[in-house]
Structure 1
Amino acid sequence: MRKSKLTEEVQKLIVDTNILVSSLLGKSYPYKIIYDLVFTDRVKLFISPSILEEYQGVLSRRKFQKKTSFYEDAKNLVDSILEVGILINPKTSIDILPDKSDNKFLDLSIAVQADCLITGNTKHFPFRQFESTLILSPKEYWDTFWK
């Protein structure tokens, strides 16, 4: 497993829901992060019950069903995440982000002391780091740690 440039341990990641959507729609950085890193155990993916619920809800939206096989691919993706991801129920509940629904990602980052939170919506997170967690776009993450 690839060791973090931040620590001597395997990187602990949290991925925003938009990364999963993007990984199903193309083969760019989100795809590489999910399929080349998470599903090969090169990093540890952490999820919480509320994040899992968001994954399932967003991925089942009708607007994505226009793409052939999206629903089945999304279901398989979530099933695979449940197999390899580490499910944690955070004890803290913070309220600091403009989009309140994104606070759950920071709650989990506190609970697991994540190395990185990867999101396609960096503008929703008004800071580049929260406690020990770097907040990076997929390209920034890939270029920083895997290029």
Structure 2
Amino acid sequence: MTVTLNPDSMREVTRIGDLYAFYEPLLTERQRQIVELYHFEDMSLAEIGSVLSISRQAVHDQLRRVGEQLEVYEAALHLQEIAAKQGTAWARLIDCWQAVRADLPEADRTRMQRAIEQMAATLSSLTGGEADA
């Protein structure tokens, strides 16, 4: 699978950042360093090249290759896709909960609220994000 990515496109920068959250442990230390400097420290290609003693073009090529690699991981594992679906389902559950909670007896409402809070903590640890209860 060949994926052509331009690491300078804003949509792709956002996508790579999102994919990085899921697949960062699968990258080499050098790849993580370059991605973090570019995406999280907002350094230019030239600045990263200077810090790492490599050319601007080498930084650009590394970012492109990392982007392609992250897309391959997502195509095989679908972690970001699954997390997005879980987030949508979670939002629907919370909407339903808000609609019915006032109609429940206090004991049932308290039990349900605790269960939702436990599920929120579990989802948060699985997806690396926040699940509002």
Question: What is the TM-score of this pair, normalised by structure 1?
Answer: 0.24
Q: Which has the higher contact order (CA 8 A, sep 6+)?
A: 1
Structure with the larger strand share: 1
Q: Which has the higher helix share?
A: 2
- Normalised TM-score (structure 2): 0.26
